[in-house]
Amino acid sequence: MIPFYEAVETRRSVRSFLPDPVPQDVLDRALDAALKAPSSSNLQPWRFIVLESPEARAGGIKACLDQAPATTAPLLVALVARPWSWRRHRDEILRIQTARGTLRPSQAAYYRKLIPLFYTHGPLNLLGFWKPAVSRIVSLFRPFPRLLTRTGVRLTAHKTTALAAATFMLALRAEGYDSCPMEGFDPYRAAKVLGLAHGEEVNMFFAVGKRAEGGIWFERALMPRDWVVQVR
Ligand SMILES: Cc1cc2nc3c(=O)[nH]c(=O)nc-3n(C[C@H](O)[C@H](O)[C@H](O)COP(=O)(O)O)c2cc1C
């Protein structure tokens, strides 16, 4: 295993891969690590889809616009954000904690009362229309969180799902494997190939494998540290 900081240093977006397959146990450990990523309210609004069959892989490559990482990698994986999975996942958290006898009253109230307040928008999205105004007005008088619009729910799901993405790529690197995240894809074709349900959206694809010689196309170019780290 590559230690954490070395994995961070050596993780790069690889655009050209060796043909060697990714062992199942490596993939499974990286996926299991990704599934432990933090998520907003622990709602885990994601799913990974491993494109294993030749047809799925060919469809994935096309959806990824025939990008070099997709065409050369031995494995393609899609990560899907599921903004509207909150109710089912909330129920599952309550079920697990209840079965274990570890459900705290505050936790039960949070999931039963507050979460629906954040995630529902009423018929015809009428509540969604008023939520930003309510948040703004109350915040004039006391600190108050932003009540989510429908777009806010999608944003939250993608924000959280990207943490699973980062964990997945770092875990692969820790295993000595490489990846390239890809946001350059055709969302309509991707949805069809992956058989996405209504409301599900691809967060990103990953090309996965071992880097080929010359597989890193660009030297790392980081912003000056004082542009991106500030102390107040
Ligand atoms: C959300 C996201 C989408 C990306 N989409 C693509 C892509 O479609 N094709 C590609 O070759 N690289 C893609 N990249 C890789 C970035 O170009 C790369 O992370 C960035 O240049 C920094 O390089 P590094 O990852 O090697 O450190 C994407 C990265 C992220 C995080």
Instruction: Indicate the top mutation candidate among 13, 216, 218 to test ligand 1's pocket, ranked by most ligand atoms within 8 A of CB.
Output: 13
- Quick check: 223 pLDDT over 90? yes
pLDDT digits (tens, 9 = 90+) for 36-80: 999 999 999 999 999 999 999 999 999 999 999 999 999 999 999
In the predicted model, what is the mean pLDDT of residues 104-115?
97
Domains of the chain plus CATH, in order, are 17-85+151-212 (3.40.109.10), 86-149 (no CATH)
Task: Give me ligand 1 centre to Cα 84, in Å.
Answer: 27
Give the pTM: 0.96
Cα 115 to middle of ligand 1, angstroms? 33
Which protein residues touch ligand 1 with a CB less than 6 Å away? 12-13, 15, 67, 69, 180-184, 204, 220
Give distance in angstroms: CA of 42 to centre of ligand 1. Answer: 26
| DSSP code per residue over the chain | ---HHHHHHH--B-SSB-SPPPPHHHHHHHHHHHTTS--GGG---EEEEEE-SHHHHHHHHHHTTT-HHHHH-SEEEEEEE-GGGHHHHHHHHHHHHHHHT---HHHHHIIIIIHHHHH---GGGHHHHHHHHHHHHHHHHS--PPPP-HHHHHHHHHHHHHHHHHHHHHHHHHTT-EEEEE--S-HHHHHHHHTPPTT-EEEEEEEEE-BPTT---S---PPPHHHH----
Q: What is the pLDDT of residue 207?
A: 98
Query: What's the pLDDT score for residue 124?
Result: 84
